[in-house]
Every structure is written in C-alpha cells, then in structure tokens.
Amino acid sequence: MNELIKKLVEAYGPSGFEDGMRDLIRPEIEAYADEISVDALGNLIAVKKGSGGGLKVMIAAHMDEIGVMVTHITQDGFLRFTNIGGVLPHNLMGSRVQFANGVIGVISSDRLEDRSKIHPLTKFFIDVGASSPDDCPVGVGDAAGFIRPFLAQGKRLTAKAMDDRIGCVVAIETLKRLKTTPHDVYFAFTVQEEVGVRGAMTAANHLDPDVGIALDVTLTGDVPEARPMAISLGQGAAIKVKDSGMIAHAGLVRLMKQRAEAAQISYQLEVLDGGSTDARSMQIANGGTAAGCISIPCRYVHSQSETVDADDVESCIKLLVEILANPINL
Amino acid sequence: MNELLKNLTEAVGVSSNEKEVRLLIRDLIANYVDEWHVDALGNLLALKKGTGASPLRVLVDAHMDEVGLMITDIDSNGTLKFEGVGGFNDRTLLGKVVQVGPKKITGVIGARPVHLLEANQRNSVVKIDAMRIDIGAKNKDAASGKVKVGEFAAFVTEYEELGVTAVGKAFDDRAGCAALVELLRARPYPFDLYASFSVQEEVGLRGAEVAAYGINPDVALVLECTPAYDLPNENDVSSNVALGKGPSIYVMDRVTIQDPRLVGHITRTAVANGIPFQIRQPGGGGTNTAVIQRTRGGIPAATIAVPGRHAHTPTMIINLEDYANVIKLAEATLRSLTPDVIKRN
C-alpha cells in the first residue's frame, strides 16, 4: 500500500487543477468499479453496484491539495503569489513548489526586520531562476503544488498532500476489498475541497445519496503544547462527531461505533474545533443527506510533512468495509 | 456617444429594486430573442434560439443591480438615516448627491464643512451610521411626505465620454449588461443562448444562483466589470487589472476557481482573433460565476470583465476600447465554443 500512497501524495493537484490526479486514480479502480464517470467540475466517480435492498451511499475523498498561484512577476523575475486553500506562511520558507509544466521554484521572503514575526503571504516570493518577466517560464494565474518526497519510517508515514490523498487511498483500498455490499456505493474522488468543499457539493447534488461518508484527515492533540484534542496518532480510526462545519448524523455515528466494536477495530471519537470536510457539503445537498466522516488522524496538517500512522489507515479501511458490507439501519 | 451605456448606467437599480433596469433591458432585447420571462426573484431571463448546429445550452449572465443605499429612519430634523446596500467604503460617501425613492428626490449626503471641523476630526473617517441624507426638508413630517423608510437611494452621475474613456455610475455591471444586450442582438449562435440579467449580485450573488438553477445550462459565461487599481505606482506590484489593456480574464478569486478549460478557450480565442487581454490578478473578489459553477451537478463557468476604476463609488471610469473588446471576445468565444472544449479525460 505504501507504493500507492507514495504515488498519490507525490503527484501534482492543487484545487481546481486535479486532472493529473484523476489519471492516476482511474487505473487503480477500473477493475473494481461497475462504472466510472467524471462530472462537470471534475469529480471522479466510481460506482460499485449493490446486491439489492440497501441504500445509496456516497463516499467522498478529495483529490486536491493546497497550493499557490502566481499574482505578479517582478522586474527581476521573482514571482509573487496568493494561496490556494489554507497555506500557512510559517511553513513556507525554503519550500519548493512545482508548476504544471514541471518548472520548480524555491520560496523565500523579503528580509525580516523582526525575526519574531512572520511575514504575510504578500511578502513571500518564488524563485524559478528567471531574471525578468521576459525569461520567466510561468505566468500570472499559473498554479503550483508543493513537492516533498514520501517518507515511511516504521508505522509513521510522512508526506505533503497526505490531506487528502490518504483518504483517496482508504477509498481505493475499500473498493478493492469490498467483495459484496447490499448498497449502491458511489466513491467520489472530489475536487476543490481545500477552497471550500466545492466539488463534493455538486457531486452530492447530482448523486443525491441517502448516506454520505467523507474520508479526510483530522488534527491531533498529541504533540507538545498542542491545542487540547482527544485524538492521537496510532489510536485508531477517528469517528467524527462534530467539526466547525457539520454535526455528524447521530445514527450514523452510533452505527460506526457499533461496527468498529463488533469487528474489534480501534477507534476514537473526534470533535474538531476548526475546519470541515466534504461531509458538510453532502449533509446539506438537495433535501439533506445523513452524513458523517471517518477521519485519519494526522499531525502537521497543511505543512509539507503531514504525518499519519499506518495502523490508523488500516483501521479506517476496515471500518469502512464493515459499514458498507452490512445493512445500514439509521 | 454610446446611448446603450448612457441609458443603462443612468437607470437606477439598487439590489432587489432592479425594475427600472429590467424594463429598459426588456425593451432593448425583445426583438432579438425568441422568449423572455422574469423569474420569482426578478431575474430577466431570455432565450435566443440557435441554428441547431450544436447541442449545447449556454448561459451568459450579467447583473443588473448596483450598490446603493436604503433609508432606515427619518430624524426629527428631517434628515434621512441610511444603510449601505452592497459593499462600501464609508469614506467615499460624504458630500455625494443621491436620488431617493421612486420619485427620485434629490438629496445630499451631508458633511460638516471643513471650517467647522476640529483638528482631530479632519483626520478621521466618518462612519456610515453617523451620516445623514439631506433632502432639504425642514422636519420629520416634511420629509415623511416625500420619502418612506425602506426606500432606496442611488447615486447620480451622468454618463459622459472623455475621448476613449467613459465616466458614469454603475458600470459594475451595466457594462456587462450592455455587452450582453449586444451579444443578443448579433446573429444566432450554433447553440441555444440563454441570457440572465440577474438581480442582487452586490448583496451576495443571490439572483444568479436561482437563474442558473432554473436554466441548468451546460456552460456559463459571466460578463462583469472588475475593479482596476492601476493609478498608484507602488514598488514593483501588479495592478489588479489596468484600463486600456483589454478584457480581463479571471483565473481565481476569493470564491471561485474558474474552469481551466474555459479559461484556456477564452485566451486562445483572444490570441487567434488578435484581441488584447489581461489575466486579472488572482486573489480577492468574486462574481456570479461562484454560484453558477456550483449549481446542481456543477456547471463549467468562466468570467470576462471590463476593467473599471473606482468601483463601488458614485463614479467609475472605463475604457471604451476595453468594453468593445469584451463584446468581441465574448462573441468569438461563444461562436467557437464546442462540446469538445468541456470534454473530460
């Protein structure tokens, strides 16, 4: 599975520019899906037909990652940029980014007058080795993603874009392992989550599922001086109860707990103070959807070293398989 | 003199009160479209049937509403308290002439004269809730006879052309409306073209959301007037867009990533037709494209805009060549739009 994770996390796919991600995921699922389609916004949707008597279930994992977009090229050929999604300025110094055309840039900033303060994003720039706008290989409006090699050290897996390629991996593995299900399951690999859960909104409008389950990373409270949060790496799949954009369907949370306990899958309950997932979009689509989220605990979210635990990933896959293989009675 | 721009910008249509503009546009397009109707929110929706060559259903949107004021109370001294409708910077309001209510009563947003200001007052911004509109009424009763609470007030700026530039109010987005009228007056397109002259954009993209839901097109194009900020010359920064450099094409703003396939199609069309264009600096702002794109199962959408200086103030300036090129680029974009442009891998 590390091979698949490496392939997905190292690929380019800032929000709005997920074409390459679709090309990578499609061959992984083709043999296991009954139908594959791409909708108007670019969501990749794989259907596994049920044996009958079940519900219409939508699983959402987003393909996009945070990134940057060029806003200005200076007279000296440096690029000023804006954020695509939640880019944190203090994670930027010395980072490398790559554009769709392969050009790689190094990020630095204007001189810091006061080292105890971080510059705002507008004071950072990208150096692609150009010396003027004329010899600059990229232009205003071009998007770039961060680059950083995948690292597997024991159970700990570290990469950029673990958010949410690891969710995509959970979806792919679930689809592979799910032998039979009573439900029609729609695995949606969504676009534009990082800029406001946009892709899942149109996918859910279109699919109109009975139940929606998002697969995404969540924060942890297990590092020094962390904001208090009862989620730790290695303690199992996180069953979301609430985040700042959604209160999970209580019946769905209960069912997730029951399935985890019955199959002896380790889990923890998640209450997230800041942030939301595709589950929010699914919950309020059309006339409403019973929505929840299985989260993969992740340290250093929105940095280039997002870190998850391989056992947690396995727990998430097992839990989702258990949920989908059995009746969903809400 | 461009009569279309003159008539459209001088008409009054503060968000949710767009009737005057709607009636004007209805009469301008009635002979050039096959059907038109007004939906529940007040959007004017028109259909111009195509030649039948293409199966696409294409929506072009421009919003009719403009930023303005709403009267919220009448003081005992006969002056009118008000709130902003749409986004304002309070600094731009003092001393401006407004037209109040359906009778278009002339009023002035009063300011204490400079002679009477304390030193510290000269350096501070007066907040909108401390401002009043003076309609020359001597007391509350006199004012109540002319104006009612809940009525709107709009700016008063006559349209004027100064060589290649035009001065007026509400180019945001009557310039887009005028361009859309011109597109409807052209010969039929290969596909059915739906036009939405939408309401309530300035208060949160509300009209276009229901217009797009009702029409449910395959592709949408939004015609806008986007703020140019090209006068102050700071140290090596880009203007958002600049006047005279051609139609501005959106890539990303605060609420939308434009469809890259359409952005590519528009820029290629510009190059092929020798039409100048500029990429609007990615970052803040937002247009009806946001809500149209995310309607129903999703609609590929993009934005072409006329650059306009001094947006959301009583007076804007546009470049008439930019305006003409927006029409040219939008028409060329539509005529070369095929289902292949939005085909997915």
Chain B residues lying within 8 Å of A16, measured CB to CB: 252, 257, 260
Q: Answer yes or no: do A205 and B296 touch at CB < 8 A.
A: yes
Q: How confident is the model at residue A309 (pLDDT cuts 50, 70, 90)?
A: very high
Residues 6+ apart with CB under 8 A from B269: B275, B329, B332, B333, B336
For B323, the domain range is: 3-66+169-342
Average pLDDT over residues B190-198: 98
pLDDT in tens, A100-126: 999 999 999 999 889 889 999 999 999
Instruction: Give bridge partners of residue B106 from the DSSP assignment.
Output: B99
Average pLDDT over residues A235-257: 98
**Residue A138 in domain:** yes
Sign of CA dihedral B230, B170, B110, B86: negative
pLDDT at A225 (0 to 100): 96
Q: How confident is the model at residue B115 (pLDDT cuts 50, 70, 90)?
A: confident
pLDDT at B239 (0 to 100): 75
**Residue A61 in domain:** yes
The domain boundary, picked from A102, A117, A146, lies at A146
Looking at the structure, do residues B202 and B242 belong to the same domain, yes or no?
yes
Which tops the pLDDT comparison, B130 or A255?
Answer: A255
- What ipTM does this complex have? 0.89
**Residue B103 in domain:** yes
pLDDT at B230 (0 to 100): 78
For A142, the domain range is: 67-146
Which tops the pLDDT comparison, A134 or B233?
Answer: A134
**Residue A155 in domain:** no
**Residue B161 in domain:** no
pLDDT at B91 (0 to 100): 86
Query: What is the distance in angstroms between the Cα of A245 and the nearest Cα belonging to chain B?
Result: 17
Its pTM stands at 0.93
3-state SS class at B121: helix
pLDDT at B144 (0 to 100): 95
- Give the type of residue at B280: R
pLDDT in tens, B87-108: 988 888 999 999 999 999 999 9
Looking at the structure, do residues A17 and A81 belong to the same domain, yes or no?
no
Q: Answer yes or no: do B257 and A84 touch at CB < 8 A.
A: yes
Closest CA to A159 of A313, A1, A6, A2: A6
Answer whether residue A258 shows pLDDT above 90.
yes
Is A193 marked active-site? yes
Average pLDDT over residues B122-136: 89
**Parallel, antiparallel, or unpaired for β B68-74 and B80-85?**
antiparallel
Q: How many CB pairs under 8 A join A and B?
A: 77
Q: Answer yes or no: do A15 and B257 touch at CB < 8 A.
A: yes
Looking at the structure, do residues B314 and B286 belong to the same domain, yes or no?
yes
Answer whether residue B233 shows pLDDT above 70.
no
pLDDT at B122 (0 to 100): 79
The domain boundary, picked from A146, A181, A200, lies at A146
pLDDT at B113 (0 to 100): 75
Looking at the structure, do residues B182 and B79 belong to the same domain, yes or no?
no
Looking at the structure, do residues A167 and A226 belong to the same domain, yes or no?
yes
**Residue B333 in domain:** yes
**Residue A152 in domain:** no
pLDDT in tens, B72-89: 999 999 999 999 999 988
Looking at the structure, do residues A57 and A205 belong to the same domain, yes or no?
yes
Phi, psi torsion values for B81, nearest 5 degrees: -85, 150
- Find the catalytic residue in A65, A173, A193, A270: A193
pLDDT at B112 (0 to 100): 73
Residue A213 near residue A277, CB atoms below 8 Å: no
Looking at the structure, do residues A164 and A303 belong to the same domain, yes or no?
yes
Looking at the structure, do residues B74 and B61 belong to the same domain, yes or no?
no
pLDDT at B234 (0 to 100): 65
Chain B residues lying within 8 Å of A84, measured CB to CB: 252, 257
Residue A137 and residue A156: Cα distance in Å, rounded?
Answer: 37
Listed by number, the residues of chain A in 109-138 with a beta carbon closer than 8 Å to a beta carbon of chain B are none
pLDDT at B118 (0 to 100): 82
Q: Answer yes or no: do A75 and B293 touch at CB < 8 A.
A: no
- Count of domains forming chain A: 2
The domain boundary, picked from B124, B155, B186, lies at B155
pLDDT in tens, A172-193: 999 999 999 999 999 999 999 9
Looking at the structure, do residues A23 and A118 belong to the same domain, yes or no?
no
Average pLDDT over residues A303-325: 98
**Residue B164 in domain:** no
Looking at the structure, do residues A214 and A278 belong to the same domain, yes or no?
yes
3-state SS class at A6: helix
DSSP 8-state assignment for residue A183: S
**Residue A231 in domain:** yes
Listed by number, the residues of chain A in 192-221 with a beta carbon closer than 8 Å to a beta carbon of chain B are 192, 195-196, 198-199, 201-203, 205-206
pLDDT at B143 (0 to 100): 96
Looking at the structure, do residues B34 and B74 belong to the same domain, yes or no?
no
Looking at the structure, do residues A243 and A164 belong to the same domain, yes or no?
yes
- Kindly report the CATH number assigned to the domain that includes residue A180: 3.40.630.10
Looking at the structure, do residues A251 and A133 belong to the same domain, yes or no?
no
Looking at the structure, do residues B120 and B260 belong to the same domain, yes or no?
no
pLDDT at B345 (0 to 100): 63
Looking at the structure, do residues B95 and B217 belong to the same domain, yes or no?
no
Q: What is the gyration radius of the CA atoms in chain A, in angstroms?
A: 20
The domain boundary, picked from A123, A146, A169, lies at A146
Looking at the structure, do residues A208 and A76 belong to the same domain, yes or no?
no
The domain boundary, picked from B109, B124, B155, lies at B155
Average pLDDT over residues A77-104: 97
Q: Tell me whether A38 touches chain B (CB under 8 Å).
A: yes
In chain A, which residue ranges form alpha helices assigned H by DSSP? 2-9, 19-29, 162-177, 198-207, 250-262, 278-283, 310-325
**Residue B189 in domain:** yes
Q: How confident is the model at residue B117 (pLDDT cuts 50, 70, 90)?
A: confident
Q: Answer yes or no: do B281 and A192 touch at CB < 8 A.
A: no
Looking at the structure, do residues A209 and A128 belong to the same domain, yes or no?
no
3-state SS class at A303: coil
* Mean pLDDT over the full length of chain B: 95
Q: Answer yes or no: do A39 and B237 touch at CB < 8 A.
A: no
Average pLDDT over residues B309-323: 95
Q: How confident is the model at residue B232 (pLDDT cuts 50, 70, 90)?
A: low
Query: What is the distance in angstroms between the Cα of B231 and the nearest Cα belonging to chain A?
Result: 17
The domain boundary, picked from B129, B155, B181, lies at B155
**Residue A235 in domain:** yes
Looking at the structure, do residues A208 and A246 belong to the same domain, yes or no?
yes
Average pLDDT over residues A208-220: 98
Q: How confident is the model at residue A287 (pLDDT cuts 50, 70, 90)?
A: very high
Q: Tell me whether A27 touches chain B (CB under 8 Å).
A: no
- Kindly report the CATH number assigned to the domain that includes residue B199: 3.40.630.10
In this prediction, what percent of chain B has a pLDDT beyond 70?
99
**Residue A71 in domain:** yes
Looking at the structure, do residues A166 and A314 belong to the same domain, yes or no?
yes
pLDDT at A214 (0 to 100): 98
Q: How confident is the model at residue B236 (pLDDT cuts 50, 70, 90)?
A: confident
Residue A138 near residue A78, CB atoms below 8 Å: no
**Residue B117 in domain:** yes
Chain B residues lying within 8 Å of A195, measured CB to CB: 257
**Residue A74 in domain:** yes
Q: Could you tell me the CA-to-CA distances from B164 to B161, B167, B179, B198 in Å, in that order?
A: 7, 10, 17, 28
- Count of domains forming chain B: 2
Q: Answer yes or no: do B296 and A206 touch at CB < 8 A.
A: yes
